Amino acid sequence: MTVSSLSLSLALSLSLSLSLSVDVNECERPGICGPGQCYNTIGNYTCICPVDYMQVNGGNNCMDMRKSFCYRNFYSDNRTCDGELTFNMTKKMCCCSYNIGRAWNRPCEQCPVPSTNEFAILCGSERPGYYIDIYTGQVIDIDECREIPGVCENGVCINMIGSFRCECPMGFLYNDKLLICEDIDECQNGPVCQQNAGCLNMPGSYRCECKPGYRFTPTGQCLDRNECVENPGVCSPGQCIDTLGSYHCICHNGFKATSDLAMCIDVDECERQPCGNGTCKNTVGSYNCLCYPGFQLSHNNDCIDTDECSSQRGLCRNGNCINTLGSFVCVCRDGYELSADGRICVDINECALNPGTCGPGTCQNLDGSYRCICPLGYYIQDETCEDTDECSLTPDICLFGTCSNTEGSFTCVCPTGFQLSSSGRRCVDVRVNYCYTKFDSGRCLAPKPLNTTKGDCCCSAMPGQGWGDPCEICPGKNEEAFTSLCHAVGQVFGPDDQPIDIDECTANPNICNNGQCINTDGSFRCECPFGFRLDTSGINCEDTNECDLGNPCGNGTCTNVIGAFECACDEGFEPGPMMSCEGMLTLTHFLAY
């Protein structure tokens, strides 16, 4: 038979078989795939396994490949376990191996008991130490030495059929709870080393080492070490003191010994904040203080306040310096303000700060103050220029008129017949009227021939008794009204407020009787012609009787005439050049000479 005819025959046979058979749904059997999901196929099924599970038996089962904790003991009464092994493994290795685990995972799950169906399902055998090969399906021995890493640690694992055993080297003892070879601590078995030596356990053995502070000698003894000699600088910068089996350090200032007194280390003085108002910088054996501004280093190496007021000349000029902690404050005097750096007091320019501080006046800044220079008509009050009320301040201003105050000045309003002086401060009476020379029985009499002003009438050196119509009595020179009207005797106030002399000679043409009137400053005088003399009134020139003044005619008879005299000479005499009678010269006289 050929291959093709054989294939055809098998296909026909299979087709016939399928047409006669009904597929069994294995997935209907509970737990057939364990933790996996079963999918039925024609004549078979497949297990879809979860993560950490592996398909076995051609996909008909799921093997748990998770590795977790394995426990030596399980307590069924409270479902707890202990004796945790130091290495992780799969549940099958933990539960199926010989004398390995009683529980697995966390929280722990009890391993199935041998010779039970659960054990057989997990291990494939009812006896511990065996499992089913996933490829051949045969029950084979579990090689615990190869499959379980860490078993028989520190020793030799020997696999046996259905079991294993551990052989531990010398110095180790088998721990059947942890399944490892544990080191025997020989140092726990009483004194095993010489005096001043310590026992040091080692894996599988031990050794003796001299205690700290001792040295091993060739004879096998542990003798005291002199650390101070062996390490000269061990306590630097302190002093080394040797003791039995040790030493200790006595440290200098700025250093402290370590807790075991084995060395001197720098003391960080900055930890106690010794600088106060500064920054501490630690140095070897000491420290430095970097003081904040306003503080200075004291002899105690800390930062104390600097009294800037006493140490810095010129500070707070034009003010008072008040020292504060770490600084100072300038309290400026009136008229000064603090400078931008706060170190001095500078003048306040009140004139620039308050432009109208002096009102209409001129502000002049001064050091620490200012002053107002007021224009005419103003005065200083409360450090500003106020208008002067000239009308109330000077009652006699605008004499003979009405004073009206104005801002910075005043105005005189003069009545009719008065003229304002050029100074504007006086009303000058320019009215012209009678000037009376007599006042009798309440009446003014004997007016002068020329009308005059009241000043010319009443102020003259030859004043009248009254003036005007109706008549006004002229004031006496000692009266207050006289000083208001007259500048002085013989003087009146002019339009420019300056005195003007009164010309009494012009105002009184015949004032000097028989004489000549000479005007003088503030008065006048009468000069009499030859032969006349001024009488006691000062205005009358009366005839001089020369004949009463000795014998002006000499050898003759004197006869007085108005303004002169005449001589009637005796016989033999005749008037000479000087009006006296002189003897006549004869020819006899000439001959005699």
- Report the 10 Å Cβ neighbour count for 344: 16
Confidence of residue 183 (pLDDT cuts 50, 70, 90): very high
Cα(494)–Cα(459) distance, rounded to whole angstroms?
Answer: 13
Helix H segments across 65-128?
A: 91-96, 117-123
Are 282 and 269 in contact, with CB atoms under 8 Å apart?
yes
Are 502 and 474 in contact, with CB atoms under 8 Å apart?
no
Give the amino acid at 260: D
* pTM score of the predicted model: 0.40
Write the burial class of residue 412 (CB in 10 Å: 0-12 exposed, 13-18 middle, 19+ buried).
buried
- Report whether pLDDT(514) > 70: yes
Domains with residue ranges and CATH for the chain: 27-59 (no CATH), 67-183 (3.90.290.10), 186-224 (2.10.25), 227-267 (2.10.25.10), 350-387 (2.10.25.10), 392-427 (2.10.25.10), 431-527 (3.90.290.10)
Enumerate residues 6+ apart whose C-beta is below 8 A from 352.
365
Give the amino acid at 582: E
**Would you state the pLDDT for residue 18?**
44
Q: Extract the tokens encoding 305.
A: 């306040």
- Report whether pLDDT(579) > 90: no
Q: Average pLDDT, whole number, for the chain?
A: 86
234-260: burial string, b at 16+ Cβ within 10 Å, e else: bbeebebebeebbbbbebeebbebeee
**Would you state the pLDDT for residue 191?**
80
- Report whether pLDDT(588) > 50: no
Cα(527)–Cα(506) distance, rounded to whole angstroms?
Answer: 15
Cα(480)–Cα(491) distance, rounded to whole angstroms?
Answer: 16
**Would you state the pLDDT for residue 585?**
63
- Report whether pLDDT(511) > 80: yes
**Would you state the pLDDT for residue 591?**
36
Cα(491)–Cα(584) distance, rounded to whole angstroms?
Answer: 59
Are 344 and 330 in contact, with CB atoms under 8 Å apart?
yes
Strands 336-338 and 345-347: antiparallel
**DSSP label at residue 133:** -
Confidence of residue 2 (pLDDT cuts 50, 70, 90): very low
- Average of pLDDT values for 468-495? 90
User: Which CB contacts under 8 angstroms, 24+ apart, belong to 366-374?
Assistant: 367/335, 368/318, 368/333, 368/334, 368/335, 368/336, 369/334, 369/335, 370/335
**Would you state the pLDDT for residue 35?**
83
- Report whether pLDDT(593) > 80: no
**Would you state the pLDDT for residue 16?**
43
Cα(141)–Cα(130) distance, rounded to whole angstroms?
Answer: 5
Are 511 and 541 in contact, with CB atoms under 8 Å apart?
no
- Report whether pLDDT(322) > 90: yes
Cα(528)–Cα(514) distance, rounded to whole angstroms?
Answer: 7
Strands annotated E in 92-210: 103-104, 109-110, 130-132, 139-141, 156-160, 163-167, 172-175, 180-183, 197-202, 205-210
**Would you state the pLDDT for residue 20?**
58
